[in-house]
Amino acid sequence: MMHQIHSFNFSADSLSTQQERVKLTDSLFAVLGQNPDVHAHIVNIRPLTEILCEVEIFVTKVGSGKINAKELFAYLDHPDRANIKKEKLLQCVKIVPRVEMNHEDIKRYLSSPPKGFSENEWRQAIVDNPDQQNLLPYPIYGYKELDDRRQRQLKERDTQRKSLGNLNDRLKTAAQDIQQINGLKHMFNEDAKRLRYRILRIIAASHNNSYQNAVSVEEEKLLSRLETIAVCVNAPNRLHDRIENLHDFLRSNKEGLENRKKEASDHQSLSEEESAALKRYLNRRQQDLDIISDSLQNNIDDVQIMLKEQL
């Protein structure tokens, strides 16, 4: 162990604030020689009696880590440090290094009874030890030490009760927090249910609208006819291409055609039979155009719907 125990002649409540602990570490810094590489750290503060407490510390050095408790005790117990200890640690009544005992040390300690105890009494104390793995018998001499041990036990009991009370308070606070969290969780679950319901309604409405806007059979037939007409007009070598070719031919041979027309009008004329045949042909084409025009007039609404959808 690298820790040391310092016993101070004041109550543990005197070190309950961070400011008081900083003052104590500053005093230890002065006792340790005011070396900036050496720092004292408070581990625990344990009340012993109403006017006595125990402070557990360890000291570190930059580059070396924790300083051994025995070496630190030897440094603090040196006569040269007596004056500075009295000045900075005026209320410190005892300094004890906390050293962990190994198996051999424990065996050696139990093998010989302490002063004032017979071998039978010491052996009986070892037998009566309720926890031989964690506890060792310790001699107490006189009423003063017995009363001191009793006071320590009472103080330890009060400390444990206080700690238990703090734990109970924290448990109650945690239970309240859990209750609030459960309430929020219930609210979130309800909101999630409502949100899922709204999403389902939106999906159902969108599907319903898609079915309502479906194309009817008549519209499909009309669309098929229009697509057929578009293919007949726009397909390669069909009506549109032929008209373009004819237009290009007429434009490129305009003068020659006009001359030939003039010559034909001067020297040739249609006979009556040719004129009648041409008239009949034009009449048939006019009838076909009238039929197409009537069909479009009868289906003008459908045609407008299809044109809007294409736009």
Both 120 and 236 in a single domain?
Answer: no
Structure tokens at 11: 């109550």
Residue 135 lies in a domain: yes
Residue 197 lies in a domain: no
Looking at the chain, how many residues does it have?
A: 311
Return d(Cα 122, Cα 139) in angstroms, integer.
9
Q: What pLDDT is attached to residue 1?
A: 47
Residue 166 lies in a domain: no
58 CB contacts (<8 Å, ≥6 apart)? Answer: 2, 3, 4, 40, 41, 43, 66, 67, 69
**What total of structural domains would you count in the chain?**
3
Residue 303 lies in a domain: yes
Both 149 and 230 in a single domain?
Answer: no
* Average pLDDT over the chain, rounded to an integer: 78
Residue 193 lies in a domain: no
Q: What pLDDT is attached to residue 64?
A: 84
Return d(Cα 89, Cα 73) in angstroms, integer.
15
Q: What pLDDT is attached to residue 31?
A: 84
**pLDDT tier at 160, thresholds 50, 70, 90:** confident
**pLDDT tier at 11, thresholds 50, 70, 90:** low
**pLDDT tier at 301, thresholds 50, 70, 90:** low
**Is the model more confident about 80 or about 237?**
80
Flag whether pLDDT at 28 surpasses 50: yes
Q: List pLDDT tens digits, range 196-222.
A: 888 887 777 776 665 555 556 676 777
- Give the containing element (helix H, strand E) for 59: strand 53-61
Q: DSSP string covering 239-255, please?
A: HHHHHHHHHHHHHHTHH
Residue 201 lies in a domain: no
Residue 199 lies in a domain: no
Both 13 and 147 in a single domain?
Answer: yes
pTM, 2 dp: 0.43
Return d(Cα 272, Cα 288) in angstroms, integer.
24
Of the three residues 142, 160, 178, the one that is the final residue of a domain is: 160
Both 45 and 116 in a single domain?
Answer: yes
Both 143 and 238 in a single domain?
Answer: no
Compute the average pLDDT of residues 86-103. 80
Residue 142 lies in a domain: yes
Of the three residues 109, 136, 160, the one that is the final residue of a domain is: 160
CB atoms within 10 A of CB 113: 17
Flag whether pLDDT at 300 surpasses 80: no
* DSSP-derived 3-state class of residue 43: strand
**Is the model more confident about 174 or about 101?**
174
Both 108 and 254 in a single domain?
Answer: no
The domain in which residue 105 lies consists of 3-160
